[in-house]
Amino acid sequence: MDKKKYDVVIADVEMAIISDEREDFVMRLVNDLDQKVREITLASKRCSKLDAALLVALDTNSERIKAEKRIRNLEAQIGLYDANLRRLREENAKLKEIMLSGKGEPEEAEPEPAEEEDGIEQLDMTQAQAEEADAPQEEEAAPEEKAPAERSDKLRQIESLLRGKTNG
């Protein structure tokens, strides 16, 4: 995209900026910054426009860092879900093979813990959230695991998930 020059006013300071972003995006940024600087300077008469701009910059940078941390945690959680899905698909294939071979219901076995696959680190999300104590967030705690259902019910649920359906 081509760079374009924009003449803008932020907190009564006129300036020209060059950006390769669309005009509506640039104007939204300018308006948001102008509003935040004005709010700070109106709330405190001793706060200069420069001070207010620096405070807005600190706040925006803080939000960006917190968002990046949340993204990393969500990516790790997706990796864990992906590893668990692969493990469940393998278990489903084994159960189908057992059922089709005519051996009947398999004996109940202790569920095997998911192994690390493809270098995916499994995270305890509560631990990851505790590490974010410096940036408290309003997030719900993960629900406790439910008691395991009968094998045939579990098999039907797994098959349903693999087909893209959900059982409530």
Determine the pLDDT at residue 154: 61
So what's the pLDDT on residue 72? 96
Q: Is 59 helix (H, G, I), strand (E, B) or coil?
A: helix
- The predicted pLDDT at position 148 comes to 40
Size of the chain, expressed as the number of residues it contains: 168
Ordered DSSP codes for 101-146: TT--SPPP-PPPPPPP-TTPPP--HHHHHHHTTTS----PPPPPPP
What is the reported pLDDT for 102? 76
- pLDDT of 137 reads 44
Q: Which residues, listed in sequence order, are joined to residue 15 by a DSSP beta bridge?
A: 8
Low-confidence ranges of the chain (pLDDT < 70): 103-168
Q: Where are the domains of the chain?
A: 4-141
**CA quadruple 26, 29, 35, 39: dihedral positive or negative?**
negative
**How far apart are the two ends of the chain, measured CA to CA in Å?**
47
Residue the block writes with tokens 């969500």:
74
Which residues, listed in sequence order, are joined to residue 4 by a DSSP beta bridge? 19
- pLDDT tens per residue across span 90-126: 999 999 999 988 765 555 555 555 544 444 444 444 4
